[in-house]
Chain A
């Protein structure tokens, strides 16, 4: 094997790459991501740590790690196959020797038979073997990691995501989905004690000629193939009504909390600080809401004229402030839902990788190959990475471990 292959596919390179990936992730977790680029120092910008997981440095590290793991796994397949097919019992890992009496030797053989070892008598003694399939454990685990990395690549290259704000009656289309979503209603479900149990968005999904009624709730997404719609957030839309002294409507508008609007043909602006459905003043005299139930609804609103604050008002629905011969108030509010969407083709691969990883770990942890050569006065054992553990288990089979005398 050429030198560069040895280096690229070697364990030491793999370990160095893992350490570098960990260090990069530590730095990335401590640096706020994707803020205004002028806020970052030159060093952070140079290494791309302000968008760490899409930076060239990170992508190079991951690509090298992928190659390292792939090369290392492929290289190990042939020798592992030879070991697997060899008629000789595998001698893998550290050799451990256990002194035995004649009686213990016989007991051990019988015990191993009961524990489903394949026991064969040879000229030099008894050979007991088990779990040769475990030879593949490391390869299977590495394969799973490769599948995870592959899924990450597919996700980064093909996924689409975003969010969708809907109020009752709103109908929207999305590039990521071949169909339309219409919101029927948003519902907050309370339990018997009055605590919020669930946030439900009732939707009509139109796809071709078909109409499907679906409910999207927290932890209960709408899934269609690679597309998923999940509950992300919610809020209130408040209906502003501005009338002149004779009751003629000057302005109607929908405002979210913290929204403002400038009235037509006037220097007057309305700022909605917030809608508080279950209004209460905190100890610090800040308006808060105890719940999303409309028990004591209030609007906290400020008026501005040429950027100069005229006043702050707390109003009930239907109540109005009269300023300069016009009436300004809110009629009512309704809830809207924010749904997150994502189209990602990599998820089935993630599930496959998870299954393969569990299989690999089970092979490493439980089904590692065990070989025991039992002679009259000793037993020589090999158990891959767990020779010491198997030695202790055998000791425990024969006698108890001595009490610790620290």
Chain B
């Protein structure tokens, strides 16, 4: 087994342990386990980064050119955005959703062909790392927004089931989840906009037309529209809390379909991904 795959496998295992620690911490209210989960997530992230760097050195290019490379980079993007959130806002509980999602993506990546193949001429462009790299970060932000939305919904449901009144601290925490989910969505939408714009410019030189209604393009636009509707409803119609949380989850389902579903069900110009 080569170094890259060794690092990839270790990162996957560390992410599994991190996910277990976070789920245990949130489910069993063992707060200290969150710290362990975070340390493991950070360690896994470092190892994961190393595996991507090794692949980049071996391939002599940015590892963003096929389904395996995008899947592992997508997981990397999610953990990256999560670690920023955990560091900046001291918000760790969301790891109980984000880390399982990351290791599932890594698991999915592990089932794909991992051979380092030469980059086909169509992908030999300076736009590749910009276009796909921003998609990785944007998708990571959408994943985090959905995770925060789910956490919000779970907390609210738990309170309702336990028939507890929401105290000030808990209420403030729910508000924080809601707000950060919105911020994460807004950032993700900015990234997705840049992904679409750079894609249009690249498509113009590669295929002669900036927009072809290719399935990947179409689903990126659908995802963009979903999140644009979400932001308008939130900012102009005051949609917050549960409604906003559900919207962030639906938006992420669209992201997942754009990433995985389109590749398998709807072949098109982006089929090499």
Contacts and interface: CB of A to CB of B under 8 A. Distances in A.
Partners in one complex: yes
A47 interface: no
Nearest to B93: A406
Interface stretch (B47-55, B66-74, B120-128, B130-138): B120-128
Nearest to B216: A29
Contacts of B169: 405
A318 interface: no
Interface stretch (A188-196, A239-247, A324-332, A374-382): A188-196
B118 A28 contact: no
B216 to A, nearest CB: 9
A195 B59 CA distance: 13
Given A152-B211, A161-B209, A404-B91, A218 B232 contact: no
B164 interface: no
Given A11-B236, A26-B222, A401-B89, A18 B229 contact: yes
A68 B25 CA distance: 49
Contact-residue size bin, chain A (C-beta under 8 Å from the other chain): 35 or more
Contacts of A125: none
A365 B186 contact: yes
B155 to A, nearest CB: 9
Contacts of A229: 208
Nearest to B198: A354
Nearest to A30: B266
B39 interface: no
A196 B120 contact: yes
Nearest to A229: B208
Interface in A16-45: 18-19, 21-22, 25-26, 28-30, 33
A228 interface: yes
A218 B124 contact: yes
Interface in A206-231: 217-221, 228-230
A219 B122 contact: yes
Given A11-B236, A361-B193, A404-B91, A195 B118 contact: yes
Interface in B172-231: 173, 175, 179, 183, 186, 190, 193, 197, 200-202, 204-211, 213, 215, 218-219, 221-222, 225-226, 228-229
Interface in B1-47: 25-26, 31, 34
A347 B204 CA distance: 9
Contacts of A303: none
Given A401-B89, A406-B26, A341 B118 contact: no
B26 A357 contact: no
Contacts of A25: 218, 221-222, 225
Nearest to B218: A29
B200 A230 contact: no
A354 B226 contact: no
B233 interface: yes
B237 interface: yes
A285 to B, nearest CB: 24
9 contacts: A11-B237, A15-B232, A18-B228, A25-B218, A29-B218, A340-B207, A385-B235, A401-B90, A406-B34
Given A28-B213, A28-B218, A29-B219, 19 more contacts: A11-B237, A18-B225, A21-B225, A25-B218, A26-B222, A29-B215, A29-B266, A152-B211, A195-B118, A196-B118, A196-B121, A199-B121, A219-B206, A221-B208, A230-B207, A341-B208, A401-B89, A406-B31, A406-B92
